[in-house]
Amino acid sequence: MSDESPHNPEAVEPKARTVGGTEYSWCKAVPSGTGITVLALLLSKPPDIWTIQTALHNLQNAQPILRSKLHFTTTTSTKTFSFLTPPTPHLQIRPLDLSSTSHILHTQNDHHCSVNPFHLILEHELNQNTWQDPDHPSYADEDVLFASLYTLSKAQWTLTLRLHTSACDRTTAVSVLRELLGSVTGSGREGEDIGREFGYKEDVNLGIEDLIPAGKANKPFWARGVDMLGYSLNSLRLANLDFRDANSPRYSQVVRLQMTAVDTEKLVAECKSREIKLCGALAAAGLIAAYASKNLPDHQREKYAVVTLIDCRSILDPVLCSQDLGFYHSAILNTHDISGEEELWELANRCYMSFANAKNSNKHFSDMSDLNFLMCKAIENPGLTPSSSLRTALISVFEDPVIDDSNELHQQLGLEDFVGCASVHGVGPSIAIFDTIRNGGLDCACVYPAPLHSREHMQELIGHMRRILVDGCNKLESES
């Protein structure tokens, strides 16, 4: 690589950019355990650490945010987080041999449930919080990206990437995974070619607030005050899942919701025929299952909150693409009154249309600062939430699923399974759904805070969600 390369700057001093409002809310959330993004890959072929590390360095060269550190400064009047970006990558993959991995698996294992080693390593990584409280005396700048390679056996390994969510939304995670797999297998771009795909950047991209189209985030002062009051008061009336242990230290666990390609095709087709998106059906199934788990009389109504996350890249100014890494999602919060008489497709339509109408009214932009502010206030004052649970909604879903049809590439690498999700045990929903349609089949990582909710309870609830979705499609098919 020549010295004239555009991604090999002459300056040796790190560059810095102050985080934006949404990024700041993640900087506040992560120390308590929400916003640790993990990509976990189960491999059946011996991985070449040098090749993987070189590919990650190439990605870090192309994308300054991936080689950045989070820097915290404080003065008498302000506290500020910044992305501090050194000129060269420095990531080192942490290898763990069979003995070290076995020790972690033993400490992680829940003997009351059958959980495979790959799943346990995923949960272990979700609860490895490198980003400590900036007010702690020993606080130091920390990288936004870490990589580890676990040896599960003589024939299986797990590669994990752990990222700070302020620098990595779901679209970023998917782009990093696809670029990494393509580079390692030789089927994608390597070295300089990765830079041409991403377009080498000298600086970290701007925060989402600086890219909102003119006028889209405008809201009169009094309207903002009324909305803030409305969000606050509504939160006091929201129902939650029953809490199993609200006092013990929390950590994130995962249950997977998986459907066959045949059932998934029926589900997607039914959504399309009703002109709604999959997120509406997932939210509806979650609401029905949550209500049913409480064994209430059918006529009794409860109000639940649903958060829908939107990738805003295509509607920013200037427009961004999936290769523009960072956090560019926004959220819309809707509430729904639920009884025991709900029908899947009527509720799915209601969930989706309330979200779509809010999006058409630009609430994903105009309410962004309000929701960020309330999120930070909840973190600072957990007693404002029921049982100090820090639950902001029952469930969160993404507007669109990730579509992955790269089975041939996976076979070449020996990739048997992979999961991408983020932790939620600090502040957030009771169920965060990260949905992928992989080779035709729906595969959702459903993350929840334990022991606030137990694994047994969540396995039962997620299993009920799956039956609701499958039965909802089969019932319509039998009636037609």
DSSP 306-368: EEEEEE-GGGSSS---TTS-S--EEEEEEEEEE-TT--HHHHHHHHHHHHHHHHHTTHHHHTH
Reported in sequence order, the residue ranges of 181-316 that DSSP labels E, i.e. its strands, are 251-258, 302-311
Contact 423, 447 (CB under 8 A): yes
Q: How far is 457 from 446, CA to CA, in rounded Å?
A: 13
HSE, side-chain direction, 13 A CA sphere, residue 307: 23
The DSSP bridge partners found for residue 18 are 82
Q: Classify domain 210-479 at the CATH topology level.
A: Chloramphenicol Acetyltransferase (3.30.559)
**Helix or strand or coil: residue 20?**
coil
CA dihedral of 367, 371, 377, 382, whole degrees rounded to 10:
150
Domain 15-206 has CATH 3.30.420.40: no
pLDDT, position 462: 98
Q: How far is 66 from 266, CA to CA, in rounded Å?
A: 39
Q: How far is 34 from 113, CA to CA, in rounded Å?
A: 24
The pair phi, psi for residue 289, each rounded to 5°, is: -65, -40
| Amino acid code (one letter) for 456 | E
**pLDDT tens, residue by residue, 410-426:** 788 899 999 999 999 99
Q: How far is 187 from 479, CA to CA, in rounded Å?
A: 47
Contact 278, 267 (CB under 8 A): yes
285 contacts: CB under 8 Å, gap ≥ 6: 344, 348, 465, 466, 468, 469, 472
pLDDT, position 3: 44
| Amino acid code (one letter) for 121 | I
Burial of 99 (0-12, 13-18, 19+ CB in 10 A): exposed
Alpha-helical runs (H) found in 45-202: 49-62, 98-108, 117-126, 170-185, 192-198
**pLDDT tens, residue by residue, 218-275:** 776 556 565 655 556 566 688 999 999 999 999 999 999 999 999 999 999 999 999 9
| Residue that the structure tokens 């961004």 belong to | 320
pLDDT in tens, the chain (480 residues): 444 444 454 446 778 899 999 999 999 999 999 999 999 999 999 999 999 999 999 999 999 999 999 999 887 677 789 999 999 999 999 999 999 999 999 888 665 568 899 999 999 999 999 998 777 777 789 999 999 999 999 999 999 999 999 999 999 999 999 999 888 877 554 444 544 455 567 788 999 999 999 999 877 655 656 565 555 656 668 899 999 999 999 999 999 999 999 999 999 999 999 999 999 999 999 999 999 999 999 899 999 999 999 999 999 999 999 999 999 999 999 999 999 999 999 999 999 999 999 999 999 999 999 899 889 988 998 988 889 999 999 999 999 999 998 777 778 889 999 999 999 999 999 999 999 999 999 999 999 999 999 999 999 999 999 999 999 988 766 665
Characterize 420-440 residue by residue with b for buried, 16 or more Cβ atoms within 10 angstroms of its Cβ, and e for exposed. bbbbbbbbbbbbbbbbbbbeb
Task: For the chain, give every domain's residue range.
Answer: 15-206, 210-479
Contact 22, 209 (CB under 8 A): yes
**Helix or strand or coil: residue 161?**
strand
> What's the helix, strand, coil split of the chain in %, to 5?
40, 25, 35
| Residue that the structure tokens 């929701």 belong to | 371
| DSSP type of residue 210 | G
Cis peptide bond N-terminal to 451, omega within 30 = yes
Q: How far is 264 from 269, CA to CA, in rounded Å?
A: 8
Contact 152, 47 (CB under 8 A): no
210-479 shares the fold of 15-206: yes
Closest CA to 444 of 293, 286, 319: 286
Write down the pTM of the prediction.
0.92
Pairing of strands 94-96, 145-151: parallel
62 contacts: CB under 8 Å, gap ≥ 6: 7, 194, 195, 197, 198, 199, 200, 201
pLDDT, position 421: 98
pLDDT, position 138: 73
Token output for 54: 């070189």
Contact 464, 289 (CB under 8 A): yes
Give the CA angle between residues 103, 109, 115 to the nearest 5°: 125
